[in-house]
């Protein structure tokens, strides 16, 4: 099973778009795409991605549309339809939402432009910042962060947690860090993914009313809890709330492990999420895409682990819970055929049972939840093998 992921702010490097604009057969298309995205974002993304220095591209207002554009350009050159799972870290969720078919590329770029500007403006209202803590006991690290009046804004797995909040709180944390944890201040404009970003959230909420999303075409994992987003409307609502909510990339990786992801492609500027995956997803084959030279390797990975018969099996479809409640399985055993629209279970909610059905003819390969299990919206329930695969 193939996952494609998009990195977040901090992954950018000066000149990282240069290889995409010349020297390969898709250069003209990539240049045209970036010109169009520049018009939508109100920024010269080509100049920012080729000539701008590190200081210019770490500005929140420019970084976010730049990263979203890079992910979309690379994704358009890849067989994204082969991916069963997509996800993005922080602003990377916009590229992931486009890959899932929830947002058009144009909507993703426009949203990124507003998100970047509004978050930059929110950073200017009060002096705040972020500090990474590496190592230490996770519970102790989180407790120490909260005792300093801060928020664990990013929980990235592999002993990486980012604290965010007031500068006074960060100074308190640095003076008395958790045992066995290393403290590394981050060069960011403010406390992202905390209540300090409320003005940006409100601005995005006003924008979201004009967006017409589509239903997800593949599993789109949410930063909020690692669960699969079940509807386009829910995806947009989560994108709005995300700017004030912690990023739980650890839960996204745990969901990939539970789903049986065996291969992962990271879009440019790649490396950060691949490094986390190497430690958390043992045995998963990983390709990082930073230049067009990496596209053949990524396409080969998609061929081997994506749709249709592959060396390690077949592409699976995953049924997820449509809402929160308690799951009850249908009277089906692993290996039983399941027809399109056939009931595979139900989620008992406060409003009554919500039926869960197969989307197409196939075989029930593996149950991922048991009768009586509490589930949240998007929790994987069963893995299905399409008929004929």
Indicate which residues carry an active-site annotation.
90, 193
Element (H, E) at 247: none
Taking Cα atoms as reference points, which of 252, 207, 260, 246 lies closest to residue 88?
252
Q: Could you give phi then psi for residue 61, rounded to 5 degrees?
A: -65, -30
DSSP per-residue codes, 177-238: PPTTEEEEE---SS-TTSGGGHHHHHHHHHHHTT------SSEEB-TTTSPBP-SHHHHHHH
Strand partners, 337: 363
Sequence-separated (6 or more) residues with CB below 8 Å from residue 195: 151, 244
* Beta strand pairing call for 263-266 and 285-288: parallel
What Rg, from alpha-carbon coordinates, does the chain have? 21
Q: How far is CA 251 from CA 34, 217, 363, 368, 384, in A?
A: 32, 21, 28, 16, 22
Q: What gap in Å lies between CA 133 and CA 181, rounded to an integer?
A: 6
Structure tokens at 236: 């947009």
Sequence-separated (6 or more) residues with CB below 8 Å from residue 210: none
Q: Could you give phi then psi for residue 382, rounded to 5 degrees?
A: -155, 145
Where are the extended beta strands (E) located within 289-368? Answer: 317-320, 325-329, 337-338, 343-349, 352-357, 362-367
Confirm if 196 and 165 have CB atoms less than 8 A apart. Answer: yes
Question: What b-and-e string marks burial along 280-303, b requiring 16 or more CB atoms within 10 Å of the CB?
Answer: bbeebebbbbbbbebbeebbebbe
Burial of 109 (0-12, 13-18, 19+ CB in 10 A): buried
Polymer length in residues for the chain: 389
């Amino acid at each position: 099973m193939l996952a494609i992921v998009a990195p977040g702010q901090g992954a950018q490097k000066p000149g990282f778009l240069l290889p995409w604009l010349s020297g390969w057969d898709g250069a003209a298309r990539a240049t045209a795409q970036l010109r169009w995205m520049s018009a939508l974002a109100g920024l010269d993304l080509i100049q920012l991605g080729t000539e701008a220095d590190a200081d210019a591209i770490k500005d929140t207002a420019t970084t976010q549309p730049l990263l979203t554009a890079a992910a979309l350009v690379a994704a358009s050159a890849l067989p994204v339809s082969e991916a069963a799972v997509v996800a993005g870290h922080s602003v990377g969720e916009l590229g992931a939402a486009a890959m899932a078919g929830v947002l058009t590329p144009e909507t993703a770029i426009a949203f990124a432009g507003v998100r970047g500007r509004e978050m930059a403006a929110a950073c200017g209202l009060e002096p705040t910042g972020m500090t990474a803590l590496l190592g230490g006991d996770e519970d102790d690290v989180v407790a120490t962060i909260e005792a300093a009046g801060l928020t664990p804004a990013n929980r990235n797995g592999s002993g990486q947690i980012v604290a965010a909040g007031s500068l006074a709180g960060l100074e308190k944390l640095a003076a008395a860090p958790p045992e066995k944890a290393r403290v590394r201040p981050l060069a960011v404009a403010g406390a992202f993914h905390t209540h300090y970003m409320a003005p940006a959230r409100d601005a995005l909420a006003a924008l979201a009313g004009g967006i017409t999303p589509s239903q997800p075409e593949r599993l789109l994992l949410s930063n909020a809890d690692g669960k699969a987003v079940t509807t386009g409307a829910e995806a947009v609502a989560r994108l709005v709330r995300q700017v004030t909510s912690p990023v739980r990339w650890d839960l996204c990786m745990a969901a990939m492990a539970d789903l049986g992801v065996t291969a992962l492609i990271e879009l440019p500027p790649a490396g950060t999420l691949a490094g986390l995956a190497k430690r958390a997803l043992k045995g998963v084959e990983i390709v990082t895409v930073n230049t067009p030279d990496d596209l053949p390797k990524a396409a080969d990975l998609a061929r081997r682990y994506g749709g249709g018969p592959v060396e390690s099996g077949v592409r699976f479809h995953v049924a997820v819970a449509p809402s929160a409640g308690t799951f009850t399985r249908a009277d089906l055993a692993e290996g039983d055929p399941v027809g399109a629209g056939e009931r595979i279970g139900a989620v008992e909610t406060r409003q009554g049972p919500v039926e869960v059905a197969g989307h197409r003819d196939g075989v029930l390969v593996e149950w991922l939840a048991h009768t009586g299990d509490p589930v949240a919206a998007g929790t994987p329930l069963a893995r299905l093998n399409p008929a004929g695969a």
